[in-house]
Amino acid sequence: MKILHVVSTFSVDYPGGITNYIRTLAADQVGAGHLVDVLDGAGDDGWTMHALGFRVTSVPATSRRVHVASSRYDSTGTDAIIALLRHERYDIVHFHLTIGVGESLYEEMPELGIPYVVTLHDYFLFCPRITMMDWRSENCGGPAKRKCERCVGVLDQIDPLYRLSRKTGIPLPRVLPSTMVTRRNERIHRFLLNARSVLAISTRMKDFFEHRYDGLRCIVAHVGTPSAETGSTTKTPSPNLRLAFLGTLSRHKGADVLFELAEQVGRTDAEFHFYGRVLERSAAARLRDSRIIDHGPYTEDDLPQIMAQTDLGLVLSVWEEGAGIVVMELLNHGTPVVATRRGGLPDFVNERNGFLFEPTPEGIAEAARFIDSLTRAQLARLAAGITPLTTRAQHAEAVERAYGANSR
């Protein structure tokens, strides 16, 4: 089978969740004997052979307009993609990220007659803000026509104003709603309905998209990670309860929840650790003044050592987290998890292997009480309650089934 993966805006080698996933899936497909290409957003001309065995090319138009809420009907990037598809004659095209390629793609792709599959990694295909965090940086709770037109208003379509708002953190006034997001989503609706399969990486994401788009039926396909094959990590001995937050420290990832939790946990043997990048200056300043030990950025190779020194994982997103690779890594290494009841996290965390709570003042206080009362015996029972998650091979098989399915 000849397969094309499409990931706009970023190089396939960018160290992010979606690109890490695509590299892994493409390599597994090459190993299964398929011919695999990746169209990324690096802006490089021509074809190059990746070290993992697949070919890579890009179109310059896909490297534009990262994380901009405005909606544009533009055919520049689409024209380049369509020309590639007609020249290469793929058996299946797998779309992962389409930011910046131009909205005409959603109209033209169904007309080509080339089978395609869409994986929903985030909420961009109904929310131009991507995370479903509204103009106030609050969880919006889900899409609705009038609400979306107000959230992505006329002023948000003016790039200098939008960039200034992002830089200063001052929201633009909600004085002029815009119908552009509605027209955009009408095109996307048809694009999704004409896909051979639409894969959602969590149950929550499936529910949001099926609610937004009438007639759409998604398949939940939990991604496979390399950590699913490593087995539990033996913990190094410590008299303390070591809690760890891994990843990017930002508001939508739960920075405020982490700081509040660290302040409210009263047990003297609790150690709070942070591994990763700090995205916002306010979070960096608060981190310096907290009881949390900052270890800085880490790589995948560091995970076994980090997990050996972690008794309880913290995944504290306030946005509707798509699936949460970090929660999978924690559980795959045998680490129970305290997580917010957001997005795909309840697909993996439950009362048998951790603790779920709402990221509200009441919920944070409840989580702090849970941590304060946790005994070593209870922690061991939670670790024993962790069940195996999806492996890379299992996920690759699910994707191949979707390539041959007809979900319409």
The C-alpha angle 201, 178, 217, rounded to 5 degrees, equals: 25
The answer to whether domain 2-224+392-404 and domain 226-384 are alike in fold is: yes
Q: Residue ranges per domain, the chain?
A: 2-224+392-404, 226-384
| pTM recorded for the entire structure | 0.90
Q: Identity (one letter) of the amino acid at 169?
A: G
Structure tokens, 254:
């739960």
Q: Positive or negative, the Cα torsion across 100, 204, 349, 131?
A: positive
Give the chain's residues under pLDDT 70: 60-74, 405-408
Structure tokens, 69:
């809420």
Residue whose C-alpha is closest to residue 100's, from 160, 12, 10, 186: 10
Fold of 2-224+392-404: Rossmann fold (3.40.50)
> Residues with Cβ < 8 Å from 342, sequence gap 6 or more?
139, 204, 317, 318, 319, 320, 321, 359
Say if residue 275 is exposed, middle or buried (CB neighbours under 10 Å; 0-12, 13-18, 19+): buried
Q: Under a CB-based contact definition with an 8 Å cutoff, are residues 313 and 380 in contact?
A: no
For residues 207 and 343, give the distance between their C-alpha atoms in angstroms, rounded to a whole number.
10
Q: Which CATH class is domain 226-384?
A: alpha beta
Q: What are phi and psi for residue 312, nearest 5 degrees?
A: -145, 125
Q: Under a CB-based contact definition with an 8 Å cutoff, are residues 153 and 178 in contact?
A: yes
pLDDT digits over 76-116, tens only?
778 888 999 999 999 999 999 998 888 889 999 999 999 99
Pairs from 373-382 (Cβ < 8 Å, separation ≥ 24):
374/241, 374/312, 379/241, 379/311, 379/312, 379/336, 382/336, 382/352, 382/353, 382/354
Q: Under a CB-based contact definition with an 8 Å cutoff, are residues 24 and 392 in contact?
A: yes
pLDDT recorded at residue 407: 40
* DSSP collapsed to 3 states, the chain: CEEEEEECCCCCCCCCHHHHHHHHHHHHHHHCCCEEEEEECCCCCCCEECCCCCEEEECHHHHCCCCCCCCCCCCHHHHHHHHHHHHHCCCEEEEEECCCCCCHHHHHHHHHCCCEEEEECCCCCCCCCCCCECCCCCECCCCCHHHHHHHCCCHHHCHHHHHHHHHHCCCCCCCCCCCHHHHHHHHHHHHHHCCCEEEECCHHHHHHHHHHCCCCCCEECCCCCHHHHCCCCCCCCCCCEEEEEEEEECCCCCHHHHHHHHHHCCCCCEEEEEEEEECCHHHHHHHHCCCCEECCCCCHHHHHHHHHCCCEEEECCCCCCCCCHHHHHHHHCCCCEEEECCCCHHHCCCCCCEEEECCCHHHHHHHHHHHHHCCHHHHHHHHHCCCCCCCHHHHHHHHHHHHHCCCC
For residues 314 and 355, give the distance between their C-alpha atoms in angstroms, rounded to a whole number.
10
For residues 128 and 132, give the distance between their C-alpha atoms in angstroms, rounded to a whole number.
8
